[in-house]
Amino acid sequence: MDRALKGRLEARFGAMLAGPIRQRHDETEMRIGPGDVTEVLRALHDEPDFRFEMLSDLAGVDTGDHMQVVYHLWSDSTADWLRVIADGLSREDPRAPSATFLWKGAEWMEREAYDMFGITFEGNRDLRRIYMPPDYTSFPLRKDFLLPDDAARSPGGGVRHMERGHAPASRAEGSDAPDTIRRLGA
């Protein structure tokens, strides 16, 4: 753990922190509000005390109560990875500023978070679905997303149709394929 990093983060961002800075093994974690994302990420990237020049990952999170955007950053100034959590995004209309002004590669990560969680990244020039069809209306990784048959499934309801095994099709007429399959050497 880089305790000096924790001290620098608390000194620089104290008023913007939405909770205590936590450290475990080689990770440091800080929480901020969505309105502070641009200022905090710019400072972490540009200021000589931090130099977090690599965005390793960006992910959406649905806590069940609200949404989050999680940024994983790396710097040569510390042995710790930094996890920045933009906490408290609205479930009804989750929005966060785009990080593409610092890291061009964030565009694809933001598209994925948009597609799976419905988080809108303001300033992303190409925010469209990346996995799901363009006319798809749901967000599959949200906690309120249910498969069509999940609502009626009870613990004793048995196996869903898509999970059922299928008996092998009978062998085609005129085929010399054997009726059984034998393991080699058996």
| 84: exposed, middle or buried (Cβ count in 10 Å: 0-12, 13-18, 19+) | buried
Q: Is 180 inside a domain boundary?
A: no
Q: Is 147 inside a domain boundary?
A: no
Q: Is 83 helix (H, G, I), strand (E, B) or coil?
A: strand
Range of the domain at 133: 3-141
Q: Which CATH number does the domain housing residue 21 bear?
A: 3.30.460.80
Q: What digits encode the pLDDT tens for the residues 152-182?
A: 555 555 444 444 444 555 555 555 555 555 5
Whole-prediction pTM: 0.77
Name the domain count of the chain: 1
Q: What digits encode the pLDDT tens for the residues 107-145?
A: 999 999 999 999 999 999 999 999 999 888 889 899 888
Q: Is 175 inside a domain boundary?
A: no
